[in-house]
Structure formats: C-alpha cells, structure tokens
Amino acid sequence: MKFKAEIDVMPLDALLDPQGKAVTSSMKNIGLSMIEGVRIGRHIRLFVEAGSKSDAESKVDEACKKLLANQIMETYVFTVEEA
Amino acid sequence: MKFKAEIDVMPLDALLDPQGKAVTSSMKNIGLSMIEGVRIGRHIRLFVEAGSKSDAESKVDEACKKLLANQIMETYVFTVEEA
C-alpha cells in the first residue's frame, strides 16, 4: 500500500530562529504588527510503500532521524495516511 | 484574543523541486528505497492578536500573500486555533 506522510521540522524552542525574527520585524513594516513570534521550519511531503500504516510510520520516523531532521537543533512531528 | 497559526508553504506541483529530488535520491543510499516523491517546503508557526478567529484568519492570509509565500511558485495552506 502507498502512504502519504506530512512532516514538520521546526527549530527547537530553546534556540534562536533568526529567519523567524527577521520575518516578525518585517510584519510591522507591512502593517501587520498584530503578528508576532514567527518561527520558520521545513514542511516535507513524501510517499512510502509499506505493508501497513505502522510500518509506514516506522520508515518515516527512520527517514526523519537519519536524514530529514537534525535532532540537535530541530524537532519533528509527522502524520501518515493512506494515499 | 491570541491565536496560533500553522502555515505550510509548498512548491507548486507543476514545478521541479530540486531539493526534494536530491533527498529522494539520498533515501535510496541509506536503505529507504520505499520512500519516494519527496517535496520540501516551509512550515511557519506564528501568533496573531485578533478579535475573532475569522479576523485572525484574514490577517494570516494577508501575511501569506504579502510576505510568506511567493504565489507564482508556491501554494500555501494554514490552520488557525486559539492559543
């Protein structure tokens, strides 16, 4: 079966996010000063061929740990559903 | 009231995504050949001060259009919930 995974990789809350800070400042300049606390990470969409949903989840988790997220600086969450 | 928005900005399906292609190839090299079709975009989390949920949604939509997404090359979706 084919499964679709949606993964969010975000900088850890304890770390500075300079790109997010820059965007927060820019919001004020374009008249959107009610927006604050912007943090920017990555969104990854992929497809997995697997026998079951739990099998697909373990493959996605392995991909996150090995390649997609740097766990020293980032945290990840994902959802898996049948494609 | 304070609302939290979670925004996904992804490259349009019609466009190449070289970063995603590179990651798809790398999956094969680390023994995860069952993973394919990787596409990589941005995930943005932010907070909005607004009177109502629909007001917050319109501010987030304005931020996406003006600053966060390039609508020529990217598409965006977001969810807003009370923080």
pLDDT tens track, chain B, 83 positions: 999 999 999 999 999 999 999 999 999 999 999 999 999 999 999 999 999 999 999 999 999 999 999 999 999 999 999 99
Give the Cα separation of B39 and B22 in Å (integer).
Answer: 10
- Cβ distance of B10 and A43 shorter than 8 Å: yes
Residue pair A52/A19 in contact (Cβ under 8 Å)? The answer is no
Q: How distant is the Cα of B56 from the closest Cα of chain A, in angstroms?
A: 9
Q: Give the residue ranges of chain A where pLDDT is below 50.
A: none
Question: Using CB atoms, which residue from B26, B35, B43 is nearest to A8?
Answer: B43
Single-letter amino acid code for the residue at A45: R
- The H helix count followed by the E strand count for chain A is 2, 3
pLDDT at residue B77, as a whole number: 98
Rounded-to-integer distance, Cα B52 and Cα B76, Å: 22
In CATH, the number for domain A2-82 is 3.30.1280.10
The per-residue pLDDT for B1 is 95
- Taking contacts as CB-CB distances below 8 angstroms, the residues of chain A near B68 are 23
B63 and A35 in contact by Cβ < 8 A? yes
pLDDT at A44: 98
The residues spanned by each domain of chain B are 2-82
Measured between CA atoms, the residue of chain A closest to residue B41 is A43
Nearest Cα residue to B80 out of B64, B56, B49, B52: B56
CA A69-B78-B68 angle, to 5 degrees, is 75
Q: Do B64 and A23 touch, CB atoms closer than 8 A?
A: no
ipTM: 0.93
Judged by CB atoms closer than 8 Å, whether chains meet at B42 and A37 is answered as no
DSSP for residue B57? H
Residues of chain A found within 8 Å of residue B47, distances taken between Cβ atoms: 35-37
pTM, full prediction: 0.94
pLDDT number for residue A52: 97
Distance from CA of A51 to the nearest CA of B (A): 11
* Confidence (pLDDT) at A28: 95
pLDDT for A75 equals 98
Do β-strands B74-82 and A74-82 pair in parallel, antiparallel, or remain unpaired?
unpaired
Phi and psi angles of residue B55, each rounded to the nearest 5 degrees, phi first = -65, -45
Scanning every residue of chain A, which has its alpha carbon at the shortest distance from the alpha carbon of B55? A34
How far away is chain B from the Cα of A72, in angstroms, using its nearest Cα? 19
pLDDT of B49 reads 97
